[in-house]
Chain A
Amino acid sequence: MRKALLFVFGFYFLLVPDVHAMHVSEGILPWHWAIFWYALSAPFIALGLYKLKAAAGGDMAFKPLVGLVTALVFIISSMPVPVPVVGSTSHPCGTAMSAILLGPSISVIVAACALLIQALFLSHGGVSTLGANIFSMGVMGSFTGYLAFRLLRAARVNMVACAFAAGLCADWATYFTTSVELASGIRGDGPFLPLLLKIAAAFVPTQVPLGILEGAITAGMISLLLRRRPDLLVKMHILKQEEAAR
């Protein structure tokens, strides 16, 4: 039996590093939980669509920009890091970056589109679990990252540090929400809290460094934009004109 177990775990570890990212997998949530997460995400999607329409009305380049940022989030959130105990792989999310650039509401649309393409064509996440994934990565990731960025900016913290904190908070908020979704979906008749703690703890070894990586990605992006194209940051209302001139 021990050999059989070793074989199974060995097979798993051999297998996982060769594959891409996983959000909450297709079919894992019972139907009532799947509907619940769709319903919870719906108002945020509606708000995002409203903001997108308003922003695209005055700027013809805005829709292509949102599409490009979606492609970027798709690429970043397809980078795999295996999480053995949970049976999933983890990944940077990229939503902090899209929330800083486009605002958190439009970032929800960005995440929804990236997740839909991944679900349809890469089997990362799923269509039945799309609501759950939009809520964890799109809503929680975007709003937490954006809030962290804005709060620290208001406290006059250096912009690159603000971006780092935004990436870190967005990533950890996403994975805590994913733990809640997984625990509620797979617990069956078992107690919720112990399972939530187990799943959240299982994410810690990958998510602590991944959060730092996500922070570094976001900080790197802002740092590069500050050096090369501060005008773009001014245009996107991230930087004031007088700050850019300094």
Chain B
Amino acid sequence: MTAILSEMPGRDHILKRVDGRLKILLAAAILVLVVASKGFLLPLSLVTAMIIMCIYLRIPARTWSLRFSEPLALVLVLILIKLFFSGQEPLFYLSLGGMKITGYKDGLLDGLAMAARIGGALSVVSILSFTTPFTHIISALSWLKIPKGIIETLMFAYRYIFLLSDEAIVIYCAQKNRLGYSNLRRGLSSFGMLAGSLTLKALEHSQMTASAMTRRGYDGNLPMMRHRPFRAREVFGSALFLTAVVFLWAI
């Protein structure tokens, strides 16, 4: 999990250098269009763009297979649910263990449309996160006037996910070595102990962190990254791209 978080976005490339605020605004606008879309053209174009992006950015196969395998599984099951449990116009009949099951054409089309929408929406968010470092996202969210409480919690949380994950792995391995998960009862007890130990660590770390930060001048406010002015080239490019997406949406 932390490997996936830390691997993105790795190397330098042209999209990484584009202003984070523009990327977030553009992604939000496209996401709205995808969720409101009825057809297949826009979502499937975005899925194609995402695949090209993964190849261009040379994102390791393990990273994106981990990331997309679950939504892919969800898509498959949704199509099957829609195919067999909703619709009016029969497409085929199936006999399974004496039970007659009907597959519906309109159900299948509904399922495929939903699957395309999931794929398209997922592609938009994935491209954003593959091309934008977390600090840029936070800084852009701050510029977009997302409340300070949320921004600061996100910053602290992102920093401590890595720390607590490492500690969770150490405790888990120690428990396994002492046969902590050998049966259900011990497993539940061990898992509770693991969560409890992590909570204790979290509480203790928070005291230490606050004390260390106060010594370095923390007054309850975290400084944010400064933004450079928008570049005309980037704004124009984003507007052009959005126009193309609106065109695809309208078709």
Which of A84-92, A135-143, A150-158, A172-180 is the interface stretch?
A84-92
Which chain B residues numbered 1 to 46 have a C-beta less than 8 Å away from chain A? 1, 4-5, 8, 28, 31-32, 34-36
Partner of A12, one of B73, B118, B199: B73
Partner of B71, one of A26, A212, A220: A26
A122 cross-chain contacts in B, Cβ below 8 A: 1, 4-5, 67
Is there contact, CB below 8 Å, between A64 and B78? no
Q: In this assembly, does B197 line the interface, its C-beta being within 8 Å of a C-beta of chain A?
A: yes
A62 cross-chain contacts in B, Cβ below 8 A: 206
B149 cross-chain contacts in A, Cβ below 8 A: 48-49, 52-53, 56, 109
Is there contact, CB below 8 Å, between A70 and B196? no
Is there contact, CB below 8 Å, between B165 and A186? no
Is there contact, CB below 8 Å, between B70 and A72? no
Is there contact, CB below 8 Å, between B152 and A128? no
A199 to chain B, nearest CB (A): 10
Is there contact, CB below 8 Å, between B158 and A212? no
Most-contacted residue by chain B among A30, A62, A126, A220 (CB, 10 A): A220
Is there contact, CB below 8 Å, between B203 and A232? yes
Is there contact, CB below 8 Å, between A75 and B198? yes
Which chain A residues numbered 210 to 228 have a C-beta less than 8 Å away from chain B? 212-213, 216-225, 228
Q: In this assembly, does A245 line the interface, its C-beta being within 8 Å of a C-beta of chain B?
A: no
Most-contacted residue by chain B among A67, A69, A190, A224 (CB, 10 A): A67
User: If A19-B70, A19-B73, A188-B86 touch, does A126 touch B125 (CB 8 Å cutoff)?
Assistant: yes
Partner of A221, one of B34, B73, B189, B199: B199
Is there contact, CB below 8 Å, between A71 and B35? no
Is there contact, CB below 8 Å, between A84 and B150? no
Q: How large is the interface on A (under 10, 10 to 19, 20 to 34, 35 or more residues)?
A: 35 or more
Interface of A is mostly: helix
Is there contact, CB below 8 Å, between B129 and A121? yes
A212 cross-chain contacts in B, Cβ below 8 A: 188
Q: In this assembly, does A162 line the interface, its C-beta being within 8 Å of a C-beta of chain B?
A: no
Partner of A74, one of B94, B161, B220: B161
Interface of B is mostly: helix
B249 to chain A, nearest CB (A): 12
User: If A1-B94, A31-B35 touch, does A120 touch B137 (CB 8 Å cutoff)?
Assistant: yes
CA distance A66 to B210 in the complex (A): 12
Is there contact, CB below 8 Å, between A15 and B35? no
Partner of A72, one of B122, B202, B210: B202
What 1/0 mask marks residues of chain A from 89 to 125 whose CB sits below 8 Å from any chain B CB?
1000010010001000000011011101101111110
Q: In this assembly, does B48 line the interface, its C-beta being within 8 Å of a C-beta of chain A?
A: no
Closest residue of chain B to A59 (Cβ to Cβ) is: B210
CA distance A72 to B204 in the complex (A): 13
Most-contacted residue by chain B among A48, A76, A216 (CB, 10 A): A216
Is there contact, CB below 8 Å, between B1 and A70? no
Is there contact, CB below 8 Å, between A120 and B128? yes
Is there contact, CB below 8 Å, between B74 and A71? no
Is there contact, CB below 8 Å, between A22 and B70? yes
Is there contact, CB below 8 Å, between B5 and A8? no
Most-contacted residue by chain A among B86, B153, B161, B165 (CB, 10 A): B153
A235 to chain B, nearest CB (A): 9
Is there contact, CB below 8 Å, between A60 and B210? yes
Residues on A lying within 8 angstroms of B by beta carbon are 1-2, 5, 8, 11-12, 15-16, 18-20, 22, 25-31, 34, 45, 48-49, 52-53, 56-57, 60-72, 74-76, 78, 80, 84-89, 94, 97, 101, 109-110, 112-114, 116-117, 119-124, 126-128, 186, 188, 190, 212-213, 216-225, 228-229, 232
18 contacts between A and B (CB under 8 A): A15-B69, A15-B72, A20-B66, A22-B70, A26-B121, A26-B122, A27-B119, A28-B117, A57-B220, A68-B160, A71-B161, A72-B198, A126-B121, A128-B31, A216-B192, A217-B192, A218-B192, A220-B193
The 8 closest A-B pairs by CB, nearest first: A220-B192, A67-B156, A87-B77, A27-B121, A224-B196, A61-B210, A65-B206, A70-B157
